[in-house]
Amino acid sequence: MKFAIAVHGAPHTSQASASAYRFARALLDEGHELYRVFFYRDGVHNGSALAAPPQDEQDLTADWQTLARTHNVDLLVCIAAALRRGILNADEAERYAKPAANLAQGFELGGLGQLVDAAVHVDRLITFGA
C-alpha cells in the first residue's frame, strides 16, 4: 500500500516530526511504499541544513536524509511555508537576495499542489500535527 505523511511540527519543539519519522520507518519495515513526506507549517524546519543539535540528541534532518537515500522517499518542503520561515534553496536565496541558502540535501521545495498530488496517489494520508 502507498502512504503519504504530512508533518506540521518543528523538530526540537514538538514530538510531531519524531512521531512521523517513526511511523515512516515502521510502514517501510512493513513492506509498504512511502510516496512522499510533505513538510508543512513549522514542519519545514526539518529541512534546515543549519540546525546543529547536540550530538547526544536525535538529528531528524539527518534521519530523514538517510531514509530518503535508502528508500528513495520524496521529502517535499512547502515552499510558501519555507520562505516565511527562512528555509531557502539556492534559487530562492538568489531570487529574494538573501545571504545564504539552507535547504538540506535530499529535501526539495515545492508547492501545496504536491500535497494534493500525494492525496490523489496514495491509499493512506496521515497528518502529524503539533
Stretch that binds other proteins, among 15-23, 48-56, 58-66, 101-109 (CB under 8 A): 15-23
Minimum distance, C-beta of residue 90 to other proteins, in the bound complex (Å)? 25
List 5's β-bridge partners, or say none.
Answer: 37, 126
| C-beta atoms surrounding 18 within 10 Å | 17
Instruction: Pick the binder of other proteins from 19, 33, 101, 102 (CB under 8 A).
Output: 19
Minimum distance, C-beta of residue 32 to other proteins, in the bound complex (Å)? 7
Q: How distant, in Å, are the alpha carbons of 8, 70, 75 from that of 83?
A: 15, 28, 16
Is 78 among the catalytic positions? yes
Q: Which residues contact 63 (CB under 8 A, 6 or more apart)?
A: 21
Binding string, residues 31-70; x marks residues near other proteins by CB under 8 A: -x-------xx-----------------------------
Catalytic residue (one of 20, 78, 104, 118)? 78
Binding to other proteins by residue 76, rule CB under 8 A? no
- Summarize as ranges the residues that interact with other proteins (CB under 8 A): 1, 3, 6, 8, 14-16, 19, 22-23, 25-27, 29-30, 32, 40-41, 80-81, 111-113, 115-117, 119-120, 122-130
Q: Which residues are catalytic?
A: 78
